[in-house]
Chain A
Amino acid sequence: MRIKPRFLIGGGLIAGAIVYLIITAIRNTAEYYLTVSEVAASADTLKGQPLRIAGRVKPGSVSWDPSSLKLVFTIVPIPDAGGAKSHAMSVDGAGAAGKAGGRSATVALVSTDNGYAADGKSQGEAEAAAMPEGQVGEPDRRRSFGAHPAAFVVISVGQPKPDMFAENRDVIVEGKLISSRTVAADQVLTSCPSKYVPETKK
């Protein structure tokens, strides 16, 4: 088919408009997707930016007040982040909520225990148990665990506690860093419990 120039221009304009839409939309909505350690390493530059942070709920740190729907907990790095990152990011049903919940979180400052270092060994074993067979025992690819002790206090207000939220569970926190150690969450997504993936059993 021979195409007259004006149709090429017309088609080109449509294609150009679509590309323009994609570029501006990415600029407007992109979020950094980082692990707790990555955020800790550059907390100053990330302050105020929309983030998605992957981490694990520290045991004993959870406080939930149902009357005000206020959830406060500490996230620590997921052991073996190299292999675990993609695995842990299988967001469960609540995760599919995306931004539907709206941004009703309010900001509150809470002092935190800074020098916290996660209990690497036991959590490492727990994660190994939760990995597909092929990956068990795979060494850290990204960083040696415990080299960057990092933890953030996450404050979420106005959202129900996610279905599968529990201590030691991997979560993704969507929100902003409001101080070097505190995250105001718009949303907390629980990642899959290990049993979502049948291969992890037995």
Chain B
Amino acid sequence: MVFIGSFALALALLLALYACGASLMGARRKMPALVESASHALWAMAGMVAIATGVLLNALFSSDFAIKYVAQHSSTTLPTFYKITALWGGQEGSLLLWTFLLAIFAAIVAWQNRDTGLELTPYALFTLAAVASFFLIMLNFVTPPFARAFPRPPEGGDLNPLLQNYWMAIHPPSLYTGYVSTTVPFAFAVAAMVSGRLDDAWIRRTRRWALFSWFFLTLGNLFGARWAYEVLGWGGYWAWDPVENAAFMPWLMMTAYLHSVMIQERKDMLKVWNLALIGLAFALTLFGTFITRSGVISSVHSFTQSGLGPYFSTFLGVVVVCYTALLLYRVKLLRSTAELESFLSREAAFLFNNLVLVGIAFAVFWGTVFPIISEAVRGVKITVGPPFFNEVNAPLALALLFLMGVGPLIAWRRASTRNLVANFSMPAVIGVAVGAAAAALGVLQWYVLSALSLAAFVAATVMLEFSRGVMARRRAVNEAAPRALVNLVAKNNRRYGGYIVHLGVAMAFVGIVASSFFKVEVKRSLAPNQTLDIGDYKLKYLGVSGDETFHMERLGARLELSRDGRSLGVLEPARVFYKRQQQPATQIALRTTPSADLYVVFAGLDPKSNLATFQVFLTPLVLWLWAGGFLMALGTVVAMWPDVREREAISRAWERRTLGWQAADTADFEGESF
């Protein structure tokens, strides 16, 4: 079996290299048959990588400790579910998963674009095959997943306890899917520049891929935050750890990209900017992989130093240099005829939103690499922690929120006073009213008040758009309100999907601000029957209870929870000791309500005094973050939904190309901003 896995990976590499050569030569010599054979090679490559992945999964499943990776990341007592997730619990396996996803996506792209001519597609296939070749070289020569363990150990070393959590089952695959799928728009951007086909064809053909990537980056970040919240036991969900930052930066870039491509589609502006953004997004996914695997920057999630670092940094360097060179080579052809006319225009709002998003990404990048830079330049390692990121990003987030409210409603080109009054007076009044109400209720921090006002402003603009649309439909086709709402969204899914995402962002932001500013924490050691108060809650420590399985020992602390003298049941946070890894972990107890989360950590039992130490957090509105995240995902699905108008627009764009540029204008997209 092991042999099959290694052999499949070797074949996959050969196929990827063949696809590189065939697609490039096919494009240069105008030989469709060669390009087609490159497509076929990519399909076969995907099959080979799938076989290798299957072999490794099977080995994990059957505890085949003759394979070093299995011996190191699994054990016979590991629950079956986590045997599967051990596939991405370590270096080699997670690289294999990465390559698997890339191979599948490349195969899908080859299939989707099988009849699209020799202009863009061959170069896009070449780029995908080249990136796949790099990862396959790593898998074949640097971190082979099927390396033998010799002698075969009788028992495996087990999966890291921190990874034995169900969020870890979905967080890495989501994030990897998001990371890897940025390769597709990137590949088409390269194709556009190499072929000189610099209109927005590359953007249109990858729009859904970009949304797909954003969807999974969003989910990946959210699941990661949820994992940190439940497993790490410090009462928070985001610590600006380098790996979190590495996942956050591509998300920011893709967010900026999804907005700025609308300007190019609509106004034929920002061409260079869009190419630069997608290049940066792709480079940042590589950078993220690089810093987690090279040991250069320390983090919760670091893999071991494995010698991958130099290869990744070299590859990253090659990608950045080549891409920049291509961009400079084509920069003359990328001149736009249109120009910005007014600060008070949708173009300007989108441009500023992009500047702020890229600014946030830059600040996060700078804070992440600062220790390395300061050590290299000044010889002293100086670190910046969460306070740095919070201090920089807090005002930028407010600016972003403001622009998020303004962007969708402000007129194109130049907004008249009438337009501004008609669109923004109601949302502005609602925003101010919410701020005033919060102040009247005793919220005094100016930051919280501005955040609440702006979030209400955004929500009001979205509601205004929805109600206008529904009203218009009711007047025009005389539909009942619920039906009008459904049809409205169905007929303009890009636009209204985007609004739902905005609503989700505003909601999540309120959750983040409230949970950061109003978190209450109590730390205390209790003897049995002593109590602890937090907010309205009272916790009474009843005693410990232990149980044991083959896999772990668990020591739970039983706490009776009550509010206003009324019992709300028993919470049982626990300390768990994983036998194989000889490592303790904490199991929090969580009571979630829409208004606040009660989060209890059993921090230790002192054998001498018999005192149990607890750390209890009462954090308001955490649920809003997850609910807002869910709305963001839902909105993205709505925006991705297949759409008749778009398909028509694409065929019109094809015609336009054959008829020449000037024949058609942007009238195709009147009224469609998303």
Interface mask (A166-202 → B, CB under 8 Å = 1, otherwise 0) = 0000000000000000000000000011011111111
Distance between A98 CB and nearest chain B CB, rounded to angstroms? 4
With A and B bound together, what is the CA distance between A151 and B270 in angstroms? Answer: 58
Query: Using a Cβ cutoff of 8 Å, how many contacts connect chains A and B?
Result: 204
Interface membership of A97, Cβ < 8 A: yes
19 contacts between A and B (CB under 8 A): A1-B270, A3-B339, A18-B363, A18-B396, A21-B395, A25-B387, A26-B370, A29-B384, A30-B382, A33-B371, A66-B613, A67-B525, A69-B525, A97-B236, A158-B523, A160-B613, A161-B603, A163-B585, A202-B71
- Apart from A14-B359, A66-B613, A96-B241, list 13 A-B contacts with CB within 8 A: A10-B352, A14-B352, A14-B355, A22-B367, A25-B363, A30-B382, A86-B298, A91-B241, A91-B299, A96-B239, A102-B521, A164-B584, A195-B583
Interface membership of B615, Cβ < 8 A: yes
Interface membership of B231, Cβ < 8 A: yes
Interface membership of A123, Cβ < 8 A: no
- Of B46-54, B300-308, B437-445, the one with at least 4 CB within 8 A of chain A: B300-308
- Given A4-B340, A14-B352, A66-B525, CB of A93 within 8 Å of CB of B232: yes
Would you list which residues of chain B between 416 and 448 have a CB under 8 Å from chain A?
Answer: none
- Given A93-B231, A100-B239, CB of A198 within 8 Å of CB of B304: yes
With A and B bound together, what is the CA distance between A89 and B299 in angstroms? Answer: 7
Interface size class of A (residues with CB under 8 A): 35 or more
In the complex, which of the residues A1, A99, A160 contacts B523, with contact meaning CB atoms closer than 8 Å? Answer: A160
Taking CB atoms, residues of chain A closer than 8 Å to B348 are: 7, 10
Q: Are B338 and A1 in contact (CB under 8 A)?
A: yes
Q: Are A89 and B298 in contact (CB under 8 A)?
A: yes
Interface membership of A117, Cβ < 8 A: no
Q: Are A21 and B363 in contact (CB under 8 A)?
A: yes
- Of B463-471, B533-541, B604-612, the one with at least 4 CB within 8 A of chain A: B604-612
Q: Are A1 and B613 in contact (CB under 8 A)?
A: no
- Given A10-B343, A160-B523, CB of A25 within 8 Å of CB of B392: yes
Chain A interface (Cβ within 8 Å of chain B)?
A: 1-4, 6-7, 10-11, 14-15, 18, 21-22, 24-26, 28-34, 52, 64, 66-67, 69, 86-87, 89-102, 132, 134-135, 158-161, 163-164, 192-193, 195-202
CB nearest to B581 among chain A residues: A195
Would you list which residues of chain B between 258 and 308 have a CB under 8 Å from chain A?
Answer: 269-271, 295-296, 298-300, 302-307
Q: Are A2 and B339 in contact (CB under 8 A)?
A: yes
Q: Are B298 and A90 in contact (CB under 8 A)?
A: yes
With A and B bound together, what is the CA distance between A199 and B338 in angstroms? Answer: 57
- Given A89-B298, A96-B300, A199-B304, CB of A15 within 8 Å of CB of B387: no
Q: Are B305 and A15 in contact (CB under 8 A)?
A: no
Q: Are A66 and B234 in contact (CB under 8 A)?
A: no
Q: Are B299 and A90 in contact (CB under 8 A)?
A: yes
In the complex, which of the residues B149, B239, B382 contacts A98, with contact meaning CB atoms closer than 8 Å? Answer: B239
Q: Are B90 and A161 in contact (CB under 8 A)?
A: no
Taking CB atoms, residues of chain B closer than 8 Å to A28 are: 387-388, 391
Q: Are A100 and B234 in contact (CB under 8 A)?
A: yes
Q: Are B385 and A29 in contact (CB under 8 A)?
A: yes
Interface membership of B142, Cβ < 8 A: no
Distance between A142 CB and nearest chain B CB, rounded to angstroms? 12
With A and B bound together, what is the CA distance between A32 and B153 in angstroms? Answer: 44
Q: Are B525 and A64 in contact (CB under 8 A)?
A: no
Q: Are B300 and A92 in contact (CB under 8 A)?
A: yes
Interface mask (B613-627 → A, CB under 8 Å = 1, otherwise 0) = 101000000000000
Q: Are A32 and B295 in contact (CB under 8 A)?
A: no
Taking CB atoms, residues of chain A closer than 8 Å to B90 are: 198
Taking CB atoms, residues of chain A closer than 8 Å to B613 are: 66, 69, 160-161
With A and B bound together, what is the CA distance between A135 and B609 in angstroms? Answer: 43
- Given A86-B296, A201-B157, CB of A31 within 8 Å of CB of B586: no
With A and B bound together, what is the CA distance between A66 and B584 in angstroms? Answer: 19
With A and B bound together, what is the CA distance between A134 and B235 in angstroms? Answer: 37
Q: Are A26 and B523 in contact (CB under 8 A)?
A: no
Taking CB atoms, residues of chain B closer than 8 Å to A10 are: 343, 348, 352
- Given A15-B355, A30-B382, A32-B382, CB of A199 within 8 Å of CB of B523: no
With A and B bound together, what is the CA distance between A21 and B392 in angstroms? Answer: 6
CB nearest to B307 among chain A residues: A134
Interface membership of B362, Cβ < 8 A: yes
Interface membership of B313, Cβ < 8 A: no
Q: Are A52 and B157 in contact (CB under 8 A)?
A: no
With A and B bound together, what is the CA distance between A75 and B336 in angstroms? Answer: 62
Taking CB atoms, residues of chain B closer than 8 Å to A199 are: 72, 304, 306
Taking CB atoms, residues of chain B closer than 8 Å to A33 are: 371, 381-383
Interface membership of B582, Cβ < 8 A: yes
With A and B bound together, what is the CA distance between A154 and B384 in angstroms? Answer: 22
Would you list which residues of chain B between 334 and 351 have a CB under 8 Å from chain A?
Answer: 335-336, 338-340, 343, 348, 351
Interface membership of B628, Cβ < 8 A: no
